[in-house]
Amino acid sequence: MSWMRERLRRLTGKYKKYETVFGSEEGKYVLADIIREAGLYLPSYETGSFDHTAYNEGSRRLAMYINNMAGMTPEEAKRIAGTDSDEGDED
């Protein structure tokens, strides 16, 4: 098997794992929390503060990566992150 085919096989398995984890109701709740905490749909630039801007961008980038790996469209991510429900926070 060529290295490219092997890499594709491993990536496909990786995507499936993310979709399994974040496709459940609990996973969607956690993903929504990650998206909100990372400020994925908020401006990341902070005037006069390169450090804070870089930190914000790093947080957004990680949330974007998880969202993409989970196979969720930006519209789906906005929808689930827009819920203000704290249901399930008793744990």
Q: Report pTM.
A: 0.74
Match 């400020």 to its residue by tokens.
39
Residue 21: what pLDDT? 94
Task: Say what percent of the chain tops pLDDT 70.
Answer: 89
Compute the mean pLDDT over every residue in the chain, rounded to the nearest whole number: 85
pLDDT over 80 at 8, yes or no: no
pLDDT over 80 at 32, yes or no: yes
Decide: residue 39, CB within 10 A, 0-12 exposed, 13-18 middle, 19+ buried.
Answer: middle
| Number of helical H runs and strand E runs in the chain | 4, 0
CA torsion through residues 16, 22, 23, 24, sign? positive
CB-based contacts of 87: which residues, under 8 Å, 6+ apart? 29
Residue 1: what pLDDT? 58
